[in-house]
Amino acid sequence: MLVAGLGVADDAHSGKTVKHRSRVKADPTQPNLRQVHLIHAELLDALETKGFAVEPGSLGENITTIGIDILSLPRNTKLHIGPSAVVRITGLRNPCKQLDAFHDGLMEAVLERMPSGELIRKCGVMGVVLAGGKVSPGDEITVALPQAPHDKLTPV
């Protein structure tokens, strides 16, 4: 169940202000831009071919998408999920070492470096809940891009 302004009901990251330990330590009054974590199923498939036993939910994500290039969407894209839920994408998930506790080498597997040196984070996107509602497996997701110009996703 997604709850407007909070996130996923009963989730550790649910709330109006930050819940991530490092962000709470820096400033506990910051708005929570990480209420919902979405990962594309295509990443899970790619990780499986590299020998990682991952399935939907394994990497801490709340919602797994299929067929949407979520990493290339601009900031503030709205995802209409199921009959009533709306999530606004706020940025990229910045993977942490906790992934290696799940599977050794997993953090490195979800990062890539371009020849230019730019770090590519492939571990999904974060968002905030604009409209709540029940989200179920198989729900349709409709993408609504923000008005141009579009802002590239950065880690949140």
Dig out the tokens for 8 from the structure. 């996923």
* pLDDT, mean over the chain: 95
DSSP H/E element including 24: helix 21-26
The reply to whether 149 falls in a domain is: no
Query: Which CATH number fits the domain that encloses residue 103?
Result: 2.40.33.20
Q: Which of 126, 58, 55, 117 lies closest to 94 in space, CA to CA?
A: 126
Mean pLDDT calculated for residue range 128-138: 97
- What are residue 81's DSSP bridge partners? 85, 141
| 55: helix, strand or coil | coil
Q: Which of 76, 27, 25, 66 lies closest to 44 in space, CA to CA?
A: 66
For a pLDDT cut of 70, what percent of the chain falls above it? 100
Mean pLDDT calculated for residue range 62-66: 97
Q: Model confidence at 96, in pLDDT bands (50, 70, 90)? A: confident
Within 27-154, residue ranges assigned H as helices are 41-49, 98-102, 106-109
Mean pLDDT calculated for residue range 67-89: 98
The reply to whether 137 falls in a domain is: yes
- What are residue 125's DSSP bridge partners? 38, 92
The reply to whether 62 falls in a domain is: yes
Query: How many other CB atoms are there within 10 angstroms of residue 26's CB atom?
Result: 10
The most confident of 8-12, 23-27, 99-103, by mean pLDDT: 8-12
The reply to whether 150 falls in a domain is: no
Q: Which residues form the domain of 92?
A: 2-144
What is the structure's pLDDT at 20?
Answer: 82
What is the number of structural domains in the chain? 1
Q: Model confidence at 141, in pLDDT bands (50, 70, 90)? A: very high
Query: What DSSP state is assigned to residue 71?
Result: G
The reply to whether 154 falls in a domain is: no
What is the structure's pLDDT at 147?
Answer: 97
The reply to whether 153 falls in a domain is: no
Mean pLDDT calculated for residue range 50-77: 95
The reply to whether 151 falls in a domain is: no
The reply to whether 67 falls in a domain is: yes
